[in-house]
Amino acid sequence: MLICSISQLGYGFYLPGSYPHKYVVGDPLSVKVNSLTSIDTEIPYSYYSLPFCHPPEGVKDSRENLGELLMGDRIENSPYKFKMYTNETEIFLCQTKSLSSDEYKLLTNRIDEIYQVNLILDNLPAIRYIKRDSYYVRWTGYPIGIKVEDVYYVFNHLKFTVLVHKYEETNVASVMGTGDAAEMIPSVKKSGPDVPGYMVVGFEVTPCSVRHNPESLKNLKETYAKYPSKIACEDNMVTMAIKENEPVAFTYEILGMAIVTIMFAALGFMSPASRGTLVTGMLIFYMVLGVLAGYVAVRMWRTIFCGDHRGWVSVSWQVACFFPGIAFLVLFTLNFLLWGSQSTGAIPFFLFVILILLWFCISVPLTFVGGYFGAKAPHIEYPVRTNQIPREIPPQKYPSWLLVLGAGTLPFGTLFIELFFIMSSIWMGRVYYVFGFLFVVLILLVVVCAEVSLVLTYMHLCVEDWKWWWKSFFASGSVALYIFLYSINYLVFDLKSLSGPVSATLYMGYSFLMVLTIMLATGTVGFLSSFWFVHYLFSSVKLD
């Protein structure tokens, strides 16, 4: 049932990403389902791998971009349907056939492994609110069920709340969903060009476990039929226990209507859920920036070897294959584990072929193009003449590599607090939204990495240690070591529920890729900063 009220607080908005659809009153809204996910195993599975209701028109896959496939998303249509700005309650979905022994075991296993159902409406993920003490915690999706005193209960009734923005009203959004007092919703009778348009700006779900009356279900044969009695859905109440050889009935209800004021036009935000576009964008940028990578690598190599351009092909080849080769090897190994688990997180074989083609047909040639121009460009001249015979480095009181490894603690100190929220967003399914603060932390990380590398390079030069280049790289790049140790700590103390060697292996594999990327990025910042510092330092030397 829907209700109408006014509130001063807005909590639905769009972020940059994709364009929302415009709907008029009565237009159909279709919910889609994504892969089932768990913070316990980190292995996604298809929604329809469990005995859930199928849409009457059959299950159909949605088009997915490269990033979505790499992230394990498998988006399909669902039987949940409702209409824009229209009140609907107590909707019968289906009653499954009696659960077989295998289906019952699979369903209870997924409940034990804390699997979540992920729903999507108009490109927005469903959000669930949980009250803890005096505040609410936001989670994406809802659990399949819950275990109470050795009895398994399934969440078979859903309350949906949809937040919508009206085009004709400035900075005003409406909320549609399910609840009481449907007669309070004003009817809209406009037609033609004056019909108001709405777009979805938020999607919320409340799961319930309801034991339906067997007598009421006897006459319900069609999907979307009206359930004959009111469905009582209360918080912390579970009544639908699942048993072998017994069916499960699913129902849902579009809850209430309210008007909330939000800073929609002022913020200028668009859609928050462009799934996979971040990963796709990263791949595209990585390939395009191959030109810059090849150019910088070859030019720096020529500078170190005093202008010798021979061997630039070998340098370009190493740049094009080092990191992608390691990433491909790790992903291919982890993929065997996901294939063996029949997980939707497994990268399809055709996608591996696409990635290889992108690598060798786009990334590698662009890197060689950049390397070619780097070989043709003039190398950076040394500001002073260097000795042909390497100078002996005096013995040091402390091992220089000990200082290099210790230097990584300073960059790590700038991000370890934010790292917890990032890890929780990736592995615990929590919503991350402090991107402004993350950008500030990123700037601080770059500055601290540069400063740490400069200080250590200067210390090495002061003790006549002229082999500063790799030390400047690892001085800032060693922050990755501490991030890797932190990821192990997070696995032991925060992901204690992570079950099985497969899940732990996946976690460590992805963590290794993450820290390798961070090491290369921060190490590059440190080396280039030190190179600029040494060049500037010696260019200021005046010889008599």
What is the value of pTM for the model shown? Answer: 0.73
* Residue at which a domain ends, from 217, 238, 262: 262
Query: Residue 225 has what pLDDT?
Result: 82
Query: Residue 185 has what pLDDT?
Result: 38
Q: Are residues 523 and 443 in the same domain?
A: yes
In a domain, 66, yes or no: yes
In a domain, 439, yes or no: yes
In a domain, 388, yes or no: no
Q: Are residues 461 and 487 in the same domain?
A: yes
Q: Are residues 373 and 403 in the same domain?
A: no
In a domain, 391, yes or no: no
Give the whole-angstrom CA distance, residue 119 versus residue 139.
12
In a domain, 500, yes or no: yes
Query: Residue 173 has what pLDDT?
Result: 47
In a domain, 153, yes or no: yes
Query: Residue 12 has what pLDDT?
Result: 40
* Residue at which a domain ends, from 330, 346, 381: 381
Query: Residue 400 has what pLDDT?
Result: 76
Q: Are residues 256 and 278 in the same domain?
A: no
* Residue at which a domain ends, from 212, 242, 262: 262
Query: Residue 90 has what pLDDT?
Result: 83
Range of the domain at 74: 15-168+195-262
DSSP code of residue 146: E
Give the whole-angstrom CA distance, residue 305 versus residue 374.
14
Q: What angle do CA 461, 465, 471 make, to 5 degrees?
A: 90
Q: Are residues 91 and 143 in the same domain?
A: yes
In a domain, 184, yes or no: no
List the structure tokens of 464: 């006549």
Q: Are residues 231 and 365 in the same domain?
A: no
Query: Residue 412 has what pLDDT?
Result: 92
Query: Residue 175 has what pLDDT?
Result: 55
Query: Residue 182 has what pLDDT?
Result: 37
Other beta carbons less than 10 A from residue 189's beta carbon: 7
Q: Are residues 337 and 302 in the same domain?
A: yes
List the structure tokens of 181: 């007092």
Q: Are residues 372 and 417 in the same domain?
A: no
Buried b (16+ CB within 10 A) or exposed e, 263-293: ebeeeebebbbbbbbebbeebeebbeebbeb
Query: Residue 447 has what pLDDT?
Result: 92
For the chain, the 3-state helix, strand and coil shares in percent, each to the nearest 5, are: 45, 20, 40
Task: Identify whether the C-beta of residue 111 lies closer than 8 Å to the C-beta of residue 147.
Answer: yes
Q: Are residues 315 and 354 in the same domain?
A: yes
Q: Are residues 256 and 279 in the same domain?
A: no
Number of domains in the chain: 3
In a domain, 279, yes or no: yes
Q: Are residues 30 and 159 in the same domain?
A: yes
Give the whole-angstrom CA distance, residue 480 versus residue 412.
8
Which residue is associated with the tokens 């060049």?
A: 535
Residue segments in the chain with a per-residue pLDDT below the cut of 70:
1-20, 64, 68, 167-196, 235-236, 254-278, 306-309, 429, 431-433, 497, 499, 541-544
Give the whole-angstrom CA distance, residue 423 versus residue 113.
19
DSSP code of residue 7: E
DSSP code of residue 377: S
Q: Are residues 304 and 245 in the same domain?
A: no
